[in-house]
Every structure is written in structure tokens, then in C-alpha cells.
Amino acid sequence: MLFEPFHLKKLKLRNRIVMAPMTRNMSPGGIPTIEVANYYKRRAKAEVGLIISEGIELSHKASSAYPNCPRLDTKEAREGWKRVVSGVKDEGGSMIAQLWHSGAIRKKGMDPDPEIPGFTPSGLTSPGKKKGYAMTKKDIDEVIEAYTQDALWCEEIGFDGVEIHGAHEYLIDNFFWEILNQREDDYGGSIIKRTKFATDIIKSIIGTVDKDFVVGLRFSQWKQQNYEAKLAYSPDELEQFLKPIQSSGIDFLHTSMRRYWEPEFEGSEENLASWTKSFSKLPTISVGSVGLDKDFQETTRWEEEAKASKPASINKALSDVENGKYDLVAVGRALLADPEWVLKMKEGRMKDLVPYTKECMLELR
């Protein structure tokens, strides 16, 4: 079933395997190069069902936190993305753009404008540390407008949709997380109120783009600085969190986990994607070290600690999709290391798979 077609809204995917968004830092000046276009095209040619782009920095003054990430706010950048999307479509693929604002991860002194600090819900950049800029309602409105404009540009470029990055301690996740969101207005407080920033963005985009344009949201429990962090500590809290998001008109949910095979809550073996699907009834993507035997953190530490990650069975993912626990499976590092991962898995050629090492992050294979 994993290798069979799937309809996401009116978008027909040739299979249920998704290329997960992975930051590459290889777009100088925010402009995707020919090498970036060829990188995505190779995956489309090798039958990836849906490609989600690396995070594209939102067209907002405080969105950046990493060098050489792609953007949309110049004609040259948009032309670069047109080349990327055209290459994917030429190979029969589908592609969604991930829109990304770094939020609290940004620090004052970073490019492109060192004077701009990280924008956060309450000025908090980590628990108890108020080193960022606390957003006003006007700032919130400006960021919502930027998301909407970027989504329109993505539609004009030819992307099939957008994914809003709401995970991993970036801006939208800062609003979701009670540790960093200490606001006392409509955007803070209960777990339901903390979803308002995201749902306002989603509603604004949906109200502006074509009705067939796909809009999704990625979220996570874990944070960059705290792998054990939670937005929801129980299934009931997760259901509360998801209800307003589901009601916003969102088309799919992408649940980011470190290890997709691990249960999310005590007393059940179901992972976050399975719980999300059961509550939202929306198409749901599961991700987290799919096809590998080690998680991301274990393979990206400093020289003496980093470990290669060997190919691993995806039998659990196959079984979960077959049993309707979630709908799609996103593959990250395994697909980054081997552009033909989908074809090799489909044909049972496990021995031919290229293992992932941290060196894979240094080039566009």
C-alpha cells in the first residue's frame, strides 16, 4: 500500500512516500541554484511520491537563523524555485514548499541584518531567558501577511501547495509551547488559545489561494533544546490542540518525531502520527528516522561521536499504513543519502542502499 497512489485533496501522488524537508544551506543569497534543482529532480525521477522542500525562509526581517537558506522575496529567488519545480514536474513528481520562520532560534548579530533579534511570543528564547523581541499584535499581523504573500508566490511559481513549519522550536512552535508563550492576550494561555497564531495564518492563506492549492502544517512535541518537551502530555490534550487546527481548513498534518516507531503516550503503542490521524481524521504524515537505525542527533554530533546510520527495515511503517494508522511516510536522511531509496525499497534491494553519514549533509547528492 505504501507504493500505491494517494490523493491529497485533488493532488494525485504516485505513492505514499514523502521527501521530508531538510535544510541544506546551499542557496547563496537565498537563490536556489541549478545544483539545488538537480538535487530535487533526481528524487522525483526516482519516484518519490511527494517532495516537501527544505525550509524556505519567510519574507520577514526576523525569519533567518542559518546561512544560505532559500527565500522567495526576490525575483531571482522565485526564478530559482521555478527551475526547481519545473524539474520535479518534468519527472512526474509533486512538490510542496515549506514556509519557515526561525523565531526564537534567531539571535541578534545574525545575518542578513545583525540588529534584528529573534521574534518570539513573549521575548523568551529559552526557558527563563528573555533575550528576544516580544511580538506585538501589529507584528503578528505582519507575519501573517508575509505567510500569505509567500504562499501566493508559491502558487504562482507552480508548487502544488505549502507546508507551514510549526515544529522544532521555531516561531509557530514558540506560540504552541507554553514554556515560551507567556502572552496574556488571545494568542496565549490555554493549549487551544496557543494555536490561534497558526490557525490565523492557515485561514489567511486558504482564503487567498486557489481552492485546489494544498495547505498543511508540520508540528512536533520535541524541541531543539529539549528532546523530552511536550505540547500535549496526554491524548486528551492532543485532541484539544488539534481541534482548532483541524477546523481551520488545513489539508494535512505532518507529525515530526525523532523515532517514528516509539509510542507517544504511556499505555499505548501508537505514535504521534497515529494519534493525530485518529483525532483529526485528516491525511497524516509520519516521520522520524524512517529507514535508518539511528536518529538524527546520533549522526550529526562532533567528529569523535558521530555515527553512520545503516539502512533499516520499514516493516512497521508498511504495517501502519496498511492498517490506516496514518497515510503517508516521510523519509529524510535515508533519501538524502540515496536519491534512489524509493526504487530500491520498492524492489527489495536493501543491500544496494547507500548508508547515511554526516558527510551527506555537506553535498547535494
Q: Considering the domain boundaries, does residue 180 fall inside one?
A: yes
| Residue 313 clears pLDDT 70, i.e. is over it | yes
Contacts of 315 (CB under 8 A, 6+ apart): none
Say if 28 falls within a structural domain. yes
pLDDT at 271: 98
Q: pTM score, two decimals?
A: 0.96
Asked if residue 52 is part of any domain, the answer here is: yes
Res 296: pLDDT: 55
At 225 the pLDDT is 86
- Is the residue at 323 inside a domain? yes
Catalytic residue among 133, 170, 260, 326: 170
Predicted local confidence at residue 295, as pLDDT: 66
- CA-nearest of 251, 246, 249 to 214 is 251
Mean pLDDT of the 132-157 span: 98
Can you give the length of the chain in residues?
Answer: 365
> DSSP state, 359?
G
DSSP conformational letter for 314: -
Distances (CA, A) of 355 to 39, 43, 260, 298, 332: 18, 16, 19, 14, 12
Q: Average pLDDT, whole number, for the chain?
A: 95
In a domain, residue 205? The reply is yes
pLDDT on residue 21:
98
Active site residue 170: yes
- Whether 212 is in a domain gets the answer yes
Q: What is the pLDDT of residues 93-129, one digit of tens each?
A: 999 999 999 999 999 999 999 999 999 999 999 998 9
Q: Is residue 326 situated within a structural domain?
A: yes
Q: Which whole number is the average pLDDT over 336-341?
A: 96
For 72-100, what is each residue's pLDDT tens digit? 999 999 999 999 999 999 999 999 999 99
Contact 245, 254 (CB under 8 A): no
With a pLDDT cut of 70, the percent of the chain lying above it is: 96
Three-state SS at 240: helix
Sequence-ordered list of residues with C-beta below 8 angstroms from that of 304, at least 6 positions apart, any chain: none
Return the pLDDT at 298.
53
| Helices assigned H by DSSP within 13-117 | 34-45, 75-90
Give how many domains the chain has, as a whole number: 1
**What CATH number does residue 198 fall under?**
3.20.20.70
Q: Could you list the residue range(s) of the whole structural domain that residue 267 is in? A: 6-362
- Tell me, yes or no, whether 1 lies in a domain: no
